[in-house]
Amino acid sequence: MTDALPSPDYSRLFRLDDRTVVVVGAGGGIGREAAQALAAQGAHVVAADRASEQAAATTELIRERGGSAEAFEIDVLDDGAVEDAAERFGDAAALVFTAATNVRKRMEDYSLEEFDRVVNLNLRSSFQLIRTFGARFAANGGGSIVGFASIRAQVVEPGQGVYAATKAGLVQLAKTAAAEYGAQGVRVNVVAPGVVETPLTAQIKANDAWYDAYSQKAALGRWARPDELAGAVVYLASDASSFVTGSTLTVDGGWTAIDGRFTPPAS
C-alpha cells in the first residue's frame, strides 16, 4: 500500500513569497498592473522596462503598498542586454514579458522598415527572452515564463497582418519552448488578451465608431482594463498552474467565442 499524498495547502496556491519575478514591460499598461498583482502575492518584482523612469514609478507604487520591488532598465532589442538580464536574474521563479508594438496598415501599404520594427520587437525579442531565460531557469531547477500573445494570433482583420503573424509566432515559440525545457521543470505559456485600454490601442479609442464596434464584439460588451489581465499572470506564475505549460490562456471577454455581431431571433 502506497503512502497517501500530502494534502496541498490551498490557501497558498497563488502565493509567491520568497520568489523573484521579472516583469519586462512593467513601466505601464498590462505590465505595470501585473507587476503590482505579483507583488501583492508576495513576490519580489523586478520592474524591467526600457523607460527607466516608468520602471521606477512602478517600483514606487509597489513599495507604497508594502511590496518588494526594484527597477531595472532593459532594451529587449539589445541581445547583450537580454543575456545580461538572464545572467543577473536567472535564479528568478518567473519571467513575464509584455512589450509589443503595432503598425495598423494593409499589407500592400507596409514598408519593410515597418515590418522589421514590428517583427523585431514582438517576435525576435520574445525569442531571445524565452531562450535565454529558459536556459537559465532549466539550469536552476525550473521556473515559469509568461508571454503576451493576442486574440490576433487566432482571428484577424484588415490591417493586422504583421502584428497577427508575430503573435501567432509567439504562441508556437511558447509551445516549442515548453517541449524543450519541460523536462527541466520550466513551464512556458502565453496570455491572449482581447482589446485592452492601453497606449497600443489609443488610435482605436479615439474613434467612437471603432471603439463601440469592438465593445459590441465581446460577449461582455466592453473593453478590458489592464488590471483584468493581472490575475491570469499571477495564475501562470504561481503553483496554481503547476501542470500548465505550452498553453494559451485567452482573456478576451468572450470575443473569440462569438460568431459575428448579429443576434438572431429566438424563434
CATH number at residue 234: 3.40.50.720
pLDDT at res. 205? 84
Q: Which residues contact 153 (CB under 8 A, 6 or more apart)?
A: 164, 167, 168, 170, 171, 192, 248
Least confident of 2-11, 49-58, 170-179, 242-251: 2-11
Whether residue 54 lies inside any domain: the answer is: yes
For residues 185-192, average pLDDT: 98
Residue 154 scores a pLDDT above 90: yes
232: domain range? 16-252
Residue 199 scores a pLDDT above 90: no
Q: Count of domains in the chain?
A: 1
For residues 228-240, average pLDDT: 98
Mean pLDDT, the chain, rounded, equals 94
Question: In the structure, what pLDDT confidence band is assigned to residue 207 with cuts at 50, 70 and 90?
Answer: confident
So which residues are the catalytic ones? 163
pLDDT at res. 2? 58
Whether residue 73 lies inside any domain: the answer is: yes
Whether residue 260 lies inside any domain: the answer is: no
Of 244, 119, 132, 141, nearest in space to 191 by CA: 244
Strand ranges of the sheet holding 44-49, from the earlier edge strand across to the other edge: 68-73, 44-49, 20-24, 94-97, 143-148, 186-193, 248-251
Whether residue 101 lies inside any domain: the answer is: yes
Residue 14 scores a pLDDT above 60: yes
Whether residue 259 lies inside any domain: the answer is: no
